[in-house]
Chains A and B, each alone.
Chain A
Amino acid sequence: MDELTLLRSARSDVTDPTPQALNEARSALLTHIEDSRRPTAALATHIRRPVLRRIAYSTLGTAATAAIVTGLVMTDLVGLAGWRGGADAAAAAVLREASGMAIASSDPILQPGQYLRVDTSAVYGGAAAAEGNRQIGFLTINEGQMYIPANRDDDWVWMRGLRKPYQSFGPESEAAAQDDWNRQLAKRGTPDYQENVRAPGGTFYATSSPNLDKLDGLPTDPYRLLNYIYRITLGSGPSPDAAAFTWIADSLRGFGAKAEIRAALYEAAAMIPGVVITDSAATLNDRTGVSIGRTEPSDGLRHDIIIDARTGRLIGERAVLVDPTKKSPFPVGTSVAWTAITITVVDEAPAGGKLYGDMGLPG
């Protein structure tokens, strides 16, 4: 018997997965697929995947003129921004005011050894499969803290809590939420379980670094910035305007954007068609601000960013189901996903932690 045969025979009789384990994994995949239609995970700044970008470029054709057009497009002097109208006047006014306040505000300055602590509360829709291909919806909340060192190449620390039940819709939904929660409790032991993940430069789970410097290098001219955003998000959302607006929300909610970039991002949002004030006193995670958003007809969701009108700081963002004709496991009017952040400067981060946590990289 050779060495390979010996190896194979050693493991020729492994037990196949139980139907229950397979169901759980399948259901996690379906939930994840469902989540993929909503705003991306809170703490992953710009890990966007412009799926169809390449294809879209190829349609520019091979004519010589395309090279010139491409040149103009690539420098963002020409693009989708500006000529198709912009945000509604009232929303634009709020955004421009926030932009002015962002410019005036100073960024937190970290002394060597200090950390930027970003507290994130993120609510996502979960769904369990039911008989007849039905989906039962419930909302879950994830809370976590990210500690970003003054020197961004040093170790980052990420404390991640469990996905807890947040809101349910009727007895069936409550049972599904409880079921999900019980499974997690069984796995992790305690409701207060926190996973401590640590990685140099923020490369958690051996992913690439969040590359905050790239955000610093964005154009500060809002027009060029918006063209840039349209260009890099082309094909990645239900529509170019939806993708651009989501990208702006992600960048504002991320922790890396400097004051002048935040200011430009607000101005850029003011130039996106369909953007309106959706609520002048919206409450998110116990903080109240002005909600500005746009409704995307293709997915029936309204994406909002919520700005603290006194400081121009972003409170958070949310996606609200507004179209009653869309098939969804949630009632119309539900905030099917939202994220709120708070940023503070702290002197130390929790000790310990490892590159790979047990929970795995979030979707």
Chain B
Amino acid sequence: MSTDNKVIERSVGSPEDFATLFDRHAVKVHRYAARRISPQVADDIVSETFLVAFDKRATFDVTVADALPWLLGIATTLLKQHARREAVAWKGMVAEIAAGVTPDAIELAGARMDAERSVKRITTALRRLSPGDRDVVLLYAWGDLDYAGISLALGIPVGTVRSRLNRSRRLLRSALDIAIDKEIFHGRTDTATQRSI
């Protein structure tokens, strides 16, 4: 199977090959957009992302094998036009997560606050982040990209990704009122059960 960059290179002369990228990544782009807004808007974002990507395919860095960061970067740009709806979606998240987070999980964090309050705080903090910081933290948390991937997606150096992510995590954490000294840095590897089944 050819890597994404080979597919894109081929598609410059043979455009229909580009559909292969859609088959590979559409669902992942959809998940990211659905997490940020809603599955309905995500349908449109996915469609537009691939149209834009096709038009911009000549600018794709062909030394990069995986096109997903690039596609998520385009989706991130497209999501900007839905900033207001995005904020509304986060409000909806409060009720949703409050129902899903188990009391035990909250206890794990060492902070005895009810789930709803913690989610309210984190979504408010999310809204207050600068757009650049927010994109980084959401590509990390909801786009499942690593530092290098985010750097490609947003066209910023890895060092900037690191500093933005550190800053946003600090802000989110302080909003959650989790004392820094009690915090055990789990990040991506935190596997504790957060949801009741």
Contact = CB atoms under 8 A, between A and B. Distances in A.
Interface in B47-100: 47-48, 50-52, 54-55, 58-59, 77-78, 80-81, 93, 96-97, 100
A7 B34 contact: no
Given A2-B178, A6-B176, A51-B58, A11 B105 contact: no
Interface string A326-363: 00000000000000000000000000000110001101
Interface residues of B, number: 65
A36 B16 CA distance: 10
A232 to B, nearest CB: 14
Interface in B144-197: 169, 172-173, 175-176, 178, 183-188, 190, 192, 194-195
Given A3-B178, A37-B15, A11 B27 contact: no
Contact of A10 (B23, B96, B105, B186): B96
Contacts of B23: 26
Contacts of B19: 26, 29-30, 33
A12 B144 CA distance: 11
Interface in A16-50: 16-17, 21-22, 24-26, 28-30, 32-33, 36-37, 49
Given A14-B34, A30-B19, A33-B15, A2 B39 contact: no
Given A6-B176, A8-B141, A16 B44 contact: no
A33 B18 contact: yes
Given A3-B122, A3-B178, A32 B46 contact: no
Nearest to A33: B15
Given A15-B34, A16-B30, A2 B109 contact: yes
Contacts of A65: none
A56 B140 CA distance: 39
A26 B122 CA distance: 36
Contact of B140 (A1, A4, A16, A37): A4
B7 interface: no
A22 B31 CA distance: 12
A10 to B, nearest CB: 4
Interface residues of A, number: 38
B39 A9 contact: no
Contact of B26 (A9, A22, A51): A22
A29 B50 contact: yes
Contact of A360 (B44, B80, B108): B44
A28 B176 contact: no
A73 B138 CA distance: 48
Given A2-B173, A2-B183, A17 B42 contact: yes
Nearest to B169: A3
A5 interface: yes
Given A29-B54, A33-B19, A52 B97 contact: no
Interface in B6-52: 12, 15-16, 18-19, 22-23, 26-27, 30-31, 34-35, 39, 42-44, 46-48, 50-52
7 contacts: A3-B178, A4-B172, A4-B186, A4-B187, A17-B26, A29-B50, A36-B55
Given A1-B108, A29-B19, 11 more contacts: A2-B187, A3-B169, A10-B93, A14-B34, A17-B43, A21-B46, A22-B46, A26-B19, A29-B50, A36-B15, A363-B51
Interface of A: 1-12, 14-17, 21-22, 24-26, 28-30, 32-33, 36-37, 49, 51-52, 205-206, 355-356, 360-361, 363
Interface of B: 12, 15-16, 18-19, 22-23, 26-27, 30-31, 34-35, 39, 42-44, 46-48, 50-52, 54-55, 58-59, 77-78, 80-81, 93, 96-97, 100-101, 105-106, 108-109, 118-119, 122, 126, 137-138, 140-142, 169, 172-173, 175-176, 178, 183-188, 190, 192, 194-195
